[in-house]
Structure 1
Amino acid sequence: MAVDRTEEVEADAVTAETTIRTYPVAPGVRLNVRSGPGTNYGIVRVLPEGMSVPIFCQAPGTTVSGPYGTSNIWDNIDNGEYVSDAYVQTGSDGYIASRCG
């Protein structure tokens, strides 16, 4: 008797989507979200204080100084949305996710 694994695979995919890790934005900061990895890109929205963000990939861009140091790493938090890694508490001064491609 064959076992149908379709339901199991779908359940695994849902679990993977719901376990995306988020990282806190520096306390007391309203963070600009930009359309690309740099301060030369337009602001698409502003995150309110106390937010945490997912990091789907990271890209090099404009160097920014913030509460967590000086960095040229930009975190992709949504499709076409980037924030400076200098304002996100990742626990590392380097890349913690794959490079955006």
Structure 2
Amino acid sequence: MAAEGRAVAVTAANATRYPVAPGYRLNVRSGPGTQYPLVRSLPLNATVAISCQKYGETVTGPYGTTNIWDSIAPGEYVSDSYVHTGSDGLVAPRCA
């Protein structure tokens, strides 16, 4: 069992992280839209690991207009328009 725990930790540590747009304290929502409750705000210069992505409310941010929302933890979503993924499409699997 200990080996399994280490493997998960290594996988999580090596997850690709994407930078949030400079100068923004990005709001994290409980679902893919601004109508969902605010969970927390990310600090300036944050990076996020995207576990999956989901379509939701269309938002315009520094990286364009999109309806893609990034899941950064269970029940935590940020608009992809504030995350520099280098793509206008999905960069992670679709959320269930």
Fold conserved (TM > 0.5)?
yes
Aligned residues: 96
DSSP 3-state at the match of 2:53: strand
Q: Which amino acid aligns with 1:91?
A: G
The residue that corresponds to 1:16 in the other structure is 11
Displacement, 1:15? 2.3
User: Cα deviations across residues 48-77 of structure 1 (Å, max 9, x unaligned)?
Assistant: 110000100000000000000000000000
Aligned-CA RMSD value:
1.5
Gaps of 5+ in 1: 1-5
Higher radius of gyration, 1 or 2: 1
Question: What TM-score, normalized to structure 2?
Answer: 0.91
Q: What residue in structure 2 maps to residue 76 of structure 1?
A: 71
Find the counterpart in structure 2 of residue 34 from structure 1: 29
Q: Deviations over 1:30-58 (max 9, x none)?
A: 11000001111011101111000010000
Query: Percent of aligned positions with the same letter in both sequences?
Result: 56
Aligned to 1:44: 39
Letter of the structure 2 residue corresponding to residue 65 of structure 1? T
The unaligned stretches of length 5 or more in structure 2 are: none
